[in-house]
Amino acid sequence: MQSDLAFPQSLAEKYRPTRIADFIGLDRPKKVLSAFCKRPASGAWLFVGPSGVGKSTMALALTAELQAELHKIPSQKCNAASIEDTVRQCWYAPLTPGGFHVVLCDEADAMTNPGQLQLLSKLDSVDPAPNTIWIFTANDTERLERRFLSRCKVLEFSSYGLAEQIASYLDKVWHAEGGNGNGPDFVRLAKDSRNNVRDCLMCLEVELMAL
């Protein structure tokens, strides 16, 4: 497999969607977030769904389409100090032309209760940071406080029934990357990976290396 890049990317990185419209399936999230981009407003979102379905990547695509300034807080560092520092940064004008800050907190379901309470204090603030959109991602909501959930617009991400669409996508990637013939059983690959597109691309990469 040839690449013009000095430092070749994995297929998962190379084919990561960069626009909301580019995602496989996810019709409802795409429709909702495309509408939100037309009339963005401060607030909090929670993207919920299985691993590899595109929650974090969708948050990045949304940030790009809003031309917003991105701030990332990993769940392991979601403590009072990091939250305070991020909120402080959001009080300044964004360095990007879109006029908004986007704060992405991945794996919110792994946050500690003190971390959730600290975030609640910011989401409930009578004087919140202006033009700031919070996006949390989670595999499920079982470990999240009810009060925390009530402060977020919850958007479900599902990979159910996408095997055929993913198979068609993998077929295109296979041939774009120099694969010959019909390639592996793409439908079986999608089902074995539970429609996790990231895992599918990693498996496909191994198949291409075996040519």
pTM over 0.75: yes
Mark whether 31 and 86 lie in a shared domain: yes
Q: What is the pLDDT of residues 41-67, one digit of tens each?
A: 999 999 999 988 999 999 999 999 999
Would you give the DSSP letter of residue 44? E
For residue 3, list its beta bridge partners.
none
Mark whether 37 and 124 lie in a shared domain: yes
Query: In this prediction, what percent of the chain has a pLDDT beyond 90?
Result: 63
Question: Where in the sequence is the domain holding 169, given as residue range(s)?
Answer: 162-209
Q: How many domains does the chain have?
A: 2
- CA separation for the pair 128, 43 (Å, rounded): 10
Q: Which is higher by pLDDT, 111 or 103?
A: 103
- CA separation for the pair 42, 56 (Å, rounded): 19
Q: Residue 126: what pLDDT?
A: 65
Mark whether 176 and 81 lie in a shared domain: no
Domain presence at residue 64: yes
Mark whether 120 and 170 lie in a shared domain: no
Mark whether 42 and 132 lie in a shared domain: yes
- CA separation for the pair 69, 93 (Å, rounded): 9
Domain presence at residue 137: yes
Q: Residue 64: what pLDDT?
A: 97
The pair of three-digit structure tokens given for residue 135, joined into one six-digit string? 């996006």
Q: b/e map of 177-205 (b: 16 or more CB within 10 Å)? A: bebeeebbebeebbeebebbbbbbbebbb
